[in-house]
Amino acid sequence: MNFSKDDPIKRFVDKNTEGEELSPMDPPDAYNPQNIEAVPYEKMHPFLQKLVDEHKAFTEVLNKFEEALFKWKNNNWIFNDEINKGLKQFFTFFDEKVPLHNSKEEKKLFPLLHKKLVEAGEHNSADSSITGINIMEDEHIKVAQVTAIVFNFLGLAARLPDQQSREITYQSAFNQGMAIIETMKLHIFREENILFPQAMQYFTEHEFTNLVE
């Protein structure tokens, strides 16, 4: 498989080197990775299973966050206990759980998998030092930044005396919140259906043992 051509997370890197812009009206099917054989949960190494379990917990929080955002918008930006609960759950989870999860990926899984992908030739066609791992690390940073922006927008809007300004700020917070949800759901899908199967393909049992230790 040519990772740089077939993998949807690499199309974003390659678009500037191939001379063809992706159109927002005709996006690639990111949820249909080509030439990647799925690995069932029960056949994954326990290290990867733990990451999948953490993904499931985060996905539940994301769904509650999405539900709260839509209820908030439909309620004309007026908060209630149910909406507050969904928003608070997301920010608390992101603050307490996500950094630990990301650290396991960034310090253990990603460096070794990046090395394996480069050795296997599954890298950017213009720069062999760039693999899908670079995209995933980028998304960790960007989602953290946008989450901070949403949190700050909510705090800022509550202090604005002008109703129109508050509504504009709330709308911006809603839009950025929805972007977080979309990005993270796709991010999780890519990890579980592309990166984790690649780890199962390239890592030895000894290497997995070292990750756990």
Chain segment 122-181, per-residue pLDDT in tens: 888 888 889 999 999 999 999 999 999 999 999 999 899 999 999 999 999 999 999 999
Distance CA 178, CA 184 (A): 10
Q: Strand ranges (DSSP E) for the chain?
A: none
Distance CA 155, CA 170 (A): 10
Single pTM value for the model: 0.83
Longest dimension (CA), the chain: 61
Distance CA 184, CA 193 (A): 14
Ranges in the chain, pLDDT < 50 = 1-28
What was the pLDDT predicted at 34? 59
